Structure 1
């Protein structure tokens, strides 16, 4: 299977299946000398692991990361970093029934059409457990970005019809409720909405928003390697994501030019600044120094216990109820996955931007 590698300079390759021995990632292109421990990575993995609230699958996995290579005496060596998370709670028998039919909303049919074969135990490579490797690699990217003064704030913007309110926005609240919403009142309302759906055997989707602060201007290219285009590719590569928008996003289709343009001005100390940020921090595919703001639309969990129409491999129309351990909503656990993929993309493109100017090269080699 191709397509398991992402990035050019800071490059990751994820591997493993939901019900195999384990999952992991190989990270290439990380500079030598970065302080890195398993605890640094574990913080991020704990944000996506199952069984942490009533809104996530009851599958119990510790998701403990092991560093197999690329780190010596607590520092990266500049060689590939191999990270492993072992699967310890496989219940493959839960999925034996679905070998004979296609689950609505899953990749069962498309896998069969492409490969003529599929790992039906939890979806194999199309399972959400594939994102463990992304999150582990993202933890490394975030640590490097933080050392450069670049921070990512990622949270649940909405669940179903429930949206956060700007006047109640408190970023620290994100870690205080199981839905990762920076609005305690919205989190309570969303919880009540989800409780109702769960009683019906249904599921919900939502929107994740990411704000990136401290990104210097000049990262990205004007044609095929636009920063916004690569962010879009990274986020849309996450299995549950069905939509991506940056800045004002689809709202620009209803705006006038006078409303959508970001005016410029000089401050009293001569600093150039934008007076608005409808563009979401990227113009012409290149970062402009203001906050980068984007959103990802997450679909409802397709595995629901309500009866659904589908077909089996015998050519029959059937009705099924999906069994097994499933999240009633994917959004809260996907927050850190979105953050990880954004961080990996930013770091890779930041590294690629260094040789774009002679003065950068001269400054580096003259030191």
Structure 2
């Protein structure tokens, strides 16, 4: 299958299916000498694993990571890092009825059209479990970025119609509620909304916001490798993502040039600074040294227990009730996926930027 590899220098390849033996990833391009343990990666995976709350699937997976290669005596060796998580709680029988029909909102029909064959157990490669490899690799990228003073933080900024209030924003609150929202009051309202959806055997969408701080100016290219374009590609590669915006995003279409432009001034130390950050930290496809801020929209979980109209492989109109264990909302477990993909983009961009200036190449090689 073409398209399972992401990145240029810091490069990952994910593999595995939802109901196969396991899920994994190979990470190439990580510099040697980075301190790395299975626990470093497990902390990230624990944030996306199932069964965390009543708002996630009841599938009982520990998602314990195993490092198979690329690490020796607690340090990366510079060789490919291979990581694996074994699947232990598959219930493939739950998917027997959809082997011959197409679930609305899923990739079932397109899989048959593209390959003439599909793994109907949990969606195969289109399952949310594919993101295990992304998160495991993202944990390594985040640790690499931390060495360079770059921090990536994502959180849920809206669940259905419930949005966070910026006046009550608290990063400490993100890990204090099941929805990973930085506003306790909004989290409570969102939980009440989700309870209503669940009683109606329905699901909800939402929005994840991500802030990246400590990013130096100069990352990204002016044409096809724009940093914001790379982030957009990374986010749209996540299943269920339907929208991406950075800085003012869609709201920029309603502003005037004077309202949207970020004015430049000199600070007391003689540095050029921006008075505002409507651009979201990226101008002309290149980071400008201010925090990068973007949002990613997730559609409602397509697997709902309520009856839905569809067709089967024989071309007959039928009604389908989807069985199995599914998240009533994707957003809480997707927060760390967004964070991980952003870290992968930034790690790759940091390494690529090392070759953009001759004076810095000479400095590196001591010439």
What TM-score do the two structures reach when normalised by structure 2? 0.99
SS across alignment from 2:309: strand
2:355 aligned residue:
355
1:274 aligned residue:
274
Distance 1:173 1:298 in 2: 22
1:28 aligned residue:
28
Distance 2:262 2:142 in 1: 29
2:38 aligned residue:
38
Compute the displacement of 1:64 (Å).
Answer: 0.1
SS across alignment from 1:100: coil
2:332 aligned residue:
332
Distance 2:8 2:153 in 1: 24
Q: Deviations over 1:256-281 (max 9, x none)?
A: 00100000000111111000000000
1:225 aligned residue:
225
Name segments (4+ residues, structure 1) moved above 2 Å: none
What TM-score do the two structures reach when normalised by structure 1? 0.99
Distance 2:316 2:361 in 1: 65
1:364 aligned residue:
364
Q: Does 1:211 align with 2:211?
A: yes
Compute the displacement of 1:153 (Å).
Answer: 1.4
Compute the displacement of 1:301 (Å).
Answer: 0.2
SS across alignment from 2:83: strand
SS across alignment from 1:138: helix
Distance 2:110 2:278 in 1: 38
SS across alignment from 1:62: coil
Counting only pairs closer than 5 Å after superposition, residues 83-94 of structure 1 correspond to structure 2 as 83-94=83-94
Compute the displacement of 1:314 (Å).
Answer: 1.4
Compute the displacement of 1:352 (Å).
Answer: 0.5
Distance 1:343 1:269 in 2: 30
Q: Does 1:49 align with 2:45?
A: no
Distance 2:320 2:241 in 1: 25
Q: Which consecutive unaligned segments of at least 5 residues does structure 1 have? A: none
Compute the displacement of 1:202 (Å).
Answer: 0.1
Distance 1:38 1:179 in 2: 25
Q: Deviations over 1:40-76 (max 9, x none)?
A: 0000000000001000000000000000000001100
Compute the displacement of 1:99 (Å).
Answer: 0.4
Distance 1:145 1:172 in 2: 21
Q: Does 1:171 align with 2:166?
A: no
Distance 2:193 2:339 in 1: 25
1:265 aligned residue:
265
Distance 1:17 1:181 in 2: 30
Q: Does 1:244 align with 2:244?
A: yes
1:152 aligned residue:
152
SS across alignment from 1:224: coil
How many residues were matched structurally? 367
1:12 aligned residue:
12
Q: Which consecutive unaligned segments of at least 5 residues does structure 2 have? A: none
Compute the displacement of 1:315 (Å).
Answer: 1.2
SS across alignment from 1:85: strand
RMSD of aligned alpha carbons: 0.6
